């Protein structure tokens, strides 16, 4: 009597498809913020406005100066001691608003739409988000502003050639002033980004930015002159202007001191934003 033994071989279990695990690195956060920055229509519009203010107003100021010189009209005090550098940087005050406002939108805009929750879920450590946003937009603003400043100076220098305001890049202090203006605008963009993360409100961030750069210096002028001399040079806008001013006097900081003071204001804004981002929920 024979026994038939049947052997059942079990089929191999189907292999499960596993997704590759991704690590959150600083470079990937930077790439993510770079992609988000250029995907917004407001980025293109506001950067274009900032560049238009910087170049357009500088060229208008140079043309106005040349027109008054050639026509023999009375020269306003603002234009009497003008140089090609000061004329080409005439639009800096307007460009700083456009870049600062865009910086506020970069961070506060995500809070207003609720997208910040997805961002912080992807980057749980939080602070790399702030550093990446500030670095990406600050670098973009620095490059755009520096290119715009040098282009404006070259065109404005051609307009005022043959006048007392004529200057070239080889003149003393010209390159330093132009680079200082580009750096100043880049840091204004970083401050705007920090204010947006600190206040988490587009309206609030823009209000504080405008107040710090334009309103407070006017209010300080109402104080006694002794107080003005001790406070005014250290305000953000005045310290920033000393970075790119061609000439200095006893009431203004030197370019190096002005840069250090303005860097301190930038670090203070970033520190406040980092503290709130790390301590409070989105």
Instruction: Concatenate the DSSP letters of all residues of 212-244 into one string.
Output: IIIIHHHHHTTS-HHHHHHHGGGSHHHHHHHHH
Longest CA pairwise span in the chain (Å):
131
Decide if 18 is inside a domain: no
- The length of the chain is 282
Decide if 128 is inside a domain: yes
Decide if 89 is inside a domain: yes
> What pLDDT is recorded for position 72?
67
> What pLDDT is recorded for position 282?
64
Decide if 246 is inside a domain: yes
Q: How far apart are CA 187 and CA 128, in angstroms?
A: 18
Using DSSP, state whether 10 is helix, strand or coil. Answer: coil
Residue 144 pLDDT > 60: yes
Supply the pTM of this predicted model.
0.88
Structure tokens, 68: 């008054």
Average pLDDT over residues 161-165: 86
Q: Is 125 exposed, middle or buried (0-12, 13-18, 19+ CB in 10 A)?
A: exposed
Decide if 127 is inside a domain: yes
Check if the beta carbon of residue 195 is closer than 8 Å to that of residue 104. yes
Alpha carbons within 13 angstroms on the beta-carbon side of residue 144 total: 27
Average pLDDT over residues 26-55: 90
Decide if 14 is inside a domain: no
Residue 13 pLDDT > 60: no
What is the total count of domains within the chain?
Answer: 1
Mean pLDDT score of the chain, rounded to an integer? 87
Q: Mean pLDDT check: name the lowest of 44-58, 194-208, 247-261.
A: 247-261
Quote the crossing angle between the two packed helices 41-71 and 92-113, to the nearest 10°. Answer: 170
Average pLDDT over residues 215-234: 85
Residue 2 pLDDT > 50: no
Q: How far apart are CA 143 and CA 164, in angstroms?
A: 30
Average pLDDT over residues 190-203: 95
Residue 123 pLDDT > 90: no
> What pLDDT is recorded for position 7?
46
> What pLDDT is recorded for position 18?
52
Average pLDDT over residues 208-212: 94
Identify the top-confidence range among 43-47, 72-76, 163-167: 43-47
Burial 248-282 (b: 16+ CB within 10 A, else e): eeeebbebebbbebbeebbeebbeebbeebeeeee
Q: How far apart are CA 103 and CA 90, in angstroms?
A: 22
> What pLDDT is recorded for position 26?
75
Q: How far apart are CA 103 and CA 143, in angstroms?
A: 15
Q: Whole domain around residue 63: which residue ranges? A: 26-279
Decide if 156 is inside a domain: yes
> What pLDDT is recorded for position 116?
86
Using DSSP, state whether 163 is helix, strand or coil. Answer: coil
Q: Mean pLDDT check: name the lowest of 35-49, 60-74, 168-182.
A: 60-74
Check if the beta carbon of residue 33 is closer than 8 Å to that of residue 43. no
Average pLDDT over residues 143-163: 93
Query: pLDDT-based confidence at 4, cuts 50/70/90?
Result: very low
Residue 166 pLDDT > 50: yes
Q: Which candidate, 277, 89, 100, places its Cα nearest to that of 197?
A: 277
Q: Which residue has the higher pLDDT, 89 or 120?
A: 89
Decide if 7 is inside a domain: no
């Amino acid at each position: 009597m024979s026994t038939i033994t049947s052997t059942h071989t079990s089929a191999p279990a189907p292999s499960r498809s596993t997704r590759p695990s991704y690590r959150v690195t600083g470079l990937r956060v930077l790439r993510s913020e770079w992609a988000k920055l250029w995907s917004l229509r407001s980025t293109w519009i506001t950067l274009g406005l900032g560049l238009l203010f910087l170049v357009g107003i500088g060229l208008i100021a140079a043309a106005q100066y040349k027109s008054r010189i050639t026509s023999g009209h009375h020269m306003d005090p603002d234009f009497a001691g003008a140089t090609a550098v000061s004329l080409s940087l005439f639009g800096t005050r307007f460009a700083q608003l456009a870049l600062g406002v865009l910086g506020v939108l970069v961070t506060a805009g995500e809070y207003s739409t609720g997208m910040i929750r997805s961002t912080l879920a992807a980057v749980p450590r939080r602070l790399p988000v702030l550093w990446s946003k500030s670095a990406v937009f600050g670098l973009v603003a620095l490059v755009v502003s520096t290119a715009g400043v040098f282009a404006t100076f070259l065109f404005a220098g051609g307009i005022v050639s043959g006048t007392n305001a004529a200057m070239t890049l080889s003149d003393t202090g010209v390159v330093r002033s132009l680079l200082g203006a580009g750096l100043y605008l880049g840091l204004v963009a970083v401050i705007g980004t920090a204010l947006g993360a600190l206040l988490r409100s587009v309206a609030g961030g823009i209000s504080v930015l405008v107040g710090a750069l334009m309103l407070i210096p006017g209010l300080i002028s109402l104080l006694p002159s002794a107080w003005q001399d001790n406070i005014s040079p250290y305000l953000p806008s005045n310290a920033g202007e000393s970075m790119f001013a061609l000439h200095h006097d006893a009431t203004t900081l030197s370019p190096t001191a002005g840069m250090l003071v303005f860097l301190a204001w930038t670090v203070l804004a970033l520190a406040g934003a980092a503290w709130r981002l790390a301590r409070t929920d989105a």
